[in-house]
Amino acid sequence: MPAVYLSVLTGVMHRTPKLANIHVLVDRNGLILGPISGTKSEMVIKAVVFDMGGVLIPAPTNLVKDLEEKNGFPPGSLVSIFQKLTNYEHFKALEKGEITGEDFDSLFTDLYNKEHGTTRGTISLATAVAHLYPTMKMIPEMEQIIKDLRAVGCMTIPSDKQLLC
Protein backbone atom coordinates (compact mmCIF):
# COMPACT_ATOMS: atom_id res chain seq x y z
CA MET A 1 0.00 0.00 0.00
CA PRO A 2 1.31 3.48 -0.82
CA ALA A 3 2.00 6.03 1.88
CA VAL A 4 1.17 9.69 1.40
CA TYR A 5 1.54 12.88 3.36
CA LEU A 6 -1.40 14.89 4.57
CA SER A 7 -0.94 18.44 5.74
CA VAL A 8 -3.09 19.15 8.76
CA LEU A 9 -3.50 22.35 10.71
CA THR A 10 -3.12 21.49 14.40
CA GLY A 11 -3.29 23.43 17.62
CA VAL A 12 -6.03 25.78 16.44
CA MET A 13 -7.98 25.35 19.68
CA HIS A 14 -4.89 26.43 21.65
CA ARG A 15 -4.27 29.50 19.48
CA THR A 16 -0.91 28.11 18.38
CA PRO A 17 -1.64 26.70 14.93
CA LYS A 18 1.02 24.49 13.38
CA LEU A 19 1.05 22.66 10.07
CA ALA A 20 1.82 18.98 10.67
CA ASN A 21 2.68 16.54 7.92
CA ILE A 22 1.22 13.12 8.62
CA HIS A 23 2.26 9.87 6.98
CA VAL A 24 -0.84 7.79 6.24
CA LEU A 25 -1.55 4.51 4.48
CA VAL A 26 -3.77 4.68 1.42
CA ASP A 27 -5.28 1.63 -0.30
CA ARG A 28 -5.20 1.08 -4.07
CA ASN A 29 -8.43 3.06 -4.45
CA GLY A 30 -6.98 6.08 -2.70
CA LEU A 31 -8.86 5.48 0.56
CA ILE A 32 -7.12 6.55 3.76
CA LEU A 33 -6.58 3.56 6.04
CA GLY A 34 -4.89 5.38 8.90
CA PRO A 35 -1.55 6.72 10.09
CA ILE A 36 1.59 4.61 9.71
CA SER A 37 2.43 3.36 13.18
CA GLY A 38 5.86 4.10 14.51
CA THR A 39 6.44 7.20 12.39
CA LYS A 40 7.48 10.44 14.03
CA SER A 41 4.57 12.27 12.47
CA GLU A 42 1.92 9.80 13.66
CA MET A 43 -1.14 11.44 15.16
CA VAL A 44 -4.83 10.71 15.34
CA ILE A 45 -6.89 12.50 12.71
CA LYS A 46 -10.14 13.44 14.47
CA ALA A 47 -11.88 15.41 11.72
CA VAL A 48 -11.63 16.13 8.00
CA VAL A 49 -13.25 19.20 6.44
CA PHE A 50 -14.36 18.84 2.82
CA ASP A 51 -15.23 21.59 0.36
CA MET A 52 -18.60 20.95 -1.21
CA GLY A 53 -18.77 22.23 -4.81
CA GLY A 54 -16.58 20.07 -7.03
CA VAL A 55 -15.43 17.88 -4.13
CA LEU A 56 -18.45 16.33 -2.38
CA ILE A 57 -21.02 17.35 -4.99
CA PRO A 58 -20.72 18.40 -8.65
CA ALA A 59 -19.07 21.75 -9.37
CA PRO A 60 -21.28 24.86 -9.41
CA THR A 61 -20.53 25.42 -13.11
CA ASN A 62 -22.68 22.35 -13.87
CA LEU A 63 -25.56 23.94 -11.97
CA VAL A 64 -25.05 27.22 -13.82
CA LYS A 65 -25.32 25.39 -17.17
CA ASP A 66 -28.58 23.80 -16.01
CA LEU A 67 -29.93 27.22 -14.98
CA GLU A 68 -29.05 28.58 -18.43
CA GLU A 69 -31.05 25.86 -20.16
CA LYS A 70 -34.06 26.05 -17.85
CA ASN A 71 -34.31 29.85 -17.97
CA GLY A 72 -33.67 30.50 -21.67
CA PHE A 73 -30.27 32.18 -21.44
CA PRO A 74 -28.00 31.89 -24.48
CA PRO A 75 -25.76 28.82 -24.08
CA GLY A 76 -22.57 29.68 -22.22
CA SER A 77 -23.65 33.21 -21.29
CA LEU A 78 -24.08 32.63 -17.54
CA VAL A 79 -21.11 30.29 -17.36
CA SER A 80 -18.81 32.84 -19.02
CA ILE A 81 -19.80 35.54 -16.51
CA PHE A 82 -19.58 33.09 -13.61
CA GLN A 83 -16.07 32.07 -14.68
CA LYS A 84 -15.03 35.72 -14.93
CA LEU A 85 -16.37 36.32 -11.45
CA THR A 86 -14.20 33.59 -9.99
CA ASN A 87 -11.32 36.04 -10.33
CA TYR A 88 -13.18 38.95 -8.76
CA GLU A 89 -13.38 39.93 -5.13
CA HIS A 90 -17.18 39.46 -5.24
CA PHE A 91 -16.90 35.71 -5.72
CA LYS A 92 -14.19 35.44 -3.07
CA ALA A 93 -16.39 37.40 -0.66
CA LEU A 94 -19.30 35.02 -1.35
CA GLU A 95 -17.05 31.99 -0.80
CA LYS A 96 -15.93 33.42 2.54
CA GLY A 97 -19.49 34.25 3.60
CA GLU A 98 -18.72 37.99 3.64
CA ILE A 99 -21.62 38.83 1.30
CA THR A 100 -24.99 37.16 0.87
CA GLY A 101 -26.27 35.30 -2.15
CA GLU A 102 -28.58 38.23 -2.86
CA ASP A 103 -25.62 40.65 -2.83
CA PHE A 104 -23.72 38.39 -5.21
CA ASP A 105 -26.74 38.02 -7.51
CA SER A 106 -27.01 41.80 -7.82
CA LEU A 107 -23.32 42.13 -8.70
CA PHE A 108 -23.57 39.19 -11.10
CA THR A 109 -26.60 40.73 -12.83
CA ASP A 110 -24.81 44.08 -13.27
CA LEU A 111 -21.83 42.37 -14.88
CA TYR A 112 -24.07 40.17 -17.06
CA ASN A 113 -26.03 43.18 -18.32
CA LYS A 114 -22.83 45.14 -19.10
CA GLU A 115 -21.23 42.19 -20.94
CA HIS A 116 -24.36 41.29 -22.92
CA GLY A 117 -25.91 44.74 -23.43
CA THR A 118 -29.12 43.73 -21.68
CA THR A 119 -31.27 45.20 -18.91
CA ARG A 120 -32.39 42.00 -17.21
CA GLY A 121 -33.75 42.08 -13.69
CA THR A 122 -31.89 40.27 -10.94
CA ILE A 123 -30.44 36.93 -12.04
CA SER A 124 -30.79 34.73 -8.95
CA LEU A 125 -27.68 32.64 -9.51
CA ALA A 126 -26.07 32.20 -6.07
CA THR A 127 -29.41 31.89 -4.31
CA ALA A 128 -30.64 29.31 -6.84
CA VAL A 129 -27.43 27.27 -6.51
CA ALA A 130 -27.62 27.43 -2.70
CA HIS A 131 -31.21 26.14 -2.80
CA LEU A 132 -30.18 23.25 -5.07
CA TYR A 133 -27.26 22.09 -2.90
CA PRO A 134 -29.36 20.17 -0.33
CA THR A 135 -31.05 18.14 -3.09
CA MET A 136 -27.83 17.18 -4.87
CA LYS A 137 -26.41 13.67 -4.80
CA MET A 138 -22.93 13.26 -3.42
CA ILE A 139 -20.17 12.12 -5.80
CA PRO A 140 -20.16 8.31 -5.20
CA GLU A 141 -16.40 8.02 -4.62
CA MET A 142 -16.55 10.76 -2.01
CA GLU A 143 -19.45 9.06 -0.28
CA GLN A 144 -17.28 5.97 0.17
CA ILE A 145 -14.34 8.00 1.49
CA ILE A 146 -16.63 9.63 4.07
CA LYS A 147 -17.98 6.23 5.13
CA ASP A 148 -14.42 4.91 5.50
CA LEU A 149 -13.33 7.91 7.56
CA ARG A 150 -16.38 7.66 9.82
CA ALA A 151 -15.82 3.91 10.24
CA VAL A 152 -12.46 4.65 11.90
CA GLY A 153 -14.01 7.30 14.16
CA CYS A 154 -13.13 10.39 12.16
CA MET A 155 -15.65 13.25 11.97
CA THR A 156 -16.35 14.55 8.48
CA ILE A 157 -17.52 18.10 7.98
CA PRO A 158 -18.80 19.66 4.75
CA SER A 159 -17.74 23.27 4.41
CA ASP A 160 -19.29 25.65 1.98
CA LYS A 161 -19.98 29.16 3.14
CA GLN A 162 -22.08 29.70 0.03
CA LEU A 163 -24.79 27.76 1.86
CA LEU A 164 -25.07 30.70 4.24
CA CYS A 165 -26.57 32.89 1.48
**Do 106 and 80 belong together in one domain?**
yes
**Would you place residue 17 in the very low, low, confident or very high pLDDT band (cuts 50, 70, 90)?**
very low
Q: What is the pTM of this model?
A: 0.57
Which contacts qualify for 1-4: CB closer than 8 Å, 24 or more apart?
Answer: 1/25, 1/26, 1/27, 1/28, 1/33, 2/26, 3/36
- Whether residues 156 and 124 share a domain: the answer is no
Same domain, 77 and 118: yes
Whether residue 124 is found in the same domain as residue 142 = no
> Does 9 have pLDDT greater than 60?
no
pLDDT of residue 117: 93
Q: Are residues 33 and 71 in the same domain?
A: no
Q: Are residues 118 and 66 in the same domain?
A: yes
- Tell whether 128 and 75 lie within a shared domain: yes
What pLDDT is stored for residue 52 in this prediction?
72
Across 140-151, average pLDDT: 80
Summarised one tens digit per residue, pLDDT across range 77-126 is: 888 887 776 557 787 788 778 888 899 999 889 989 998 999 999 998 88
Both 144 and 130 in one domain: the answer is no
Count of structural domains, the chain:
2
pLDDT at 128: 85
How distant, in Å, are the alpha carbons of 4, 24, 59, 88, 105 from that of 91? 32, 34, 15, 6, 10
Strand partners, 32: 26
Position 163 confidence tier, pLDDT thresholds 50, 70, 90: very low
Of 6-10, 18-22, 149-153, give the lowest mean pLDDT range: 6-10
pLDDT of 67 > 60? The answer is yes
- Is 2 a residue whose pLDDT tops 50? no
- The more confidently predicted of residues 125 and 46 is 125
CA 33 vs CA 38, 56, 108, 143, 149: distances in Å: 15, 19, 43, 15, 8
For residues 139-147, average pLDDT: 81
Across the chain, mean pLDDT equals 71
> What is the DSSP pairing of strand 18-26 with strand 32-35?
antiparallel
Structural domain range at position 32: 3-53+138-164
Instruction: Clarify whether residues 148 and 86 are in a common domain.
Output: no
Q: Going by C-beta distance under 8 Å and a sequence separation of 6 or more, which residues neighbour residue 25?
A: 1, 2, 3, 32, 33, 34, 35, 36
Query: Tell me, what's the pLDDT at 106?
Result: 92
> What pLDDT score does 164 carry?
35
CA distance 124 to 105: 5
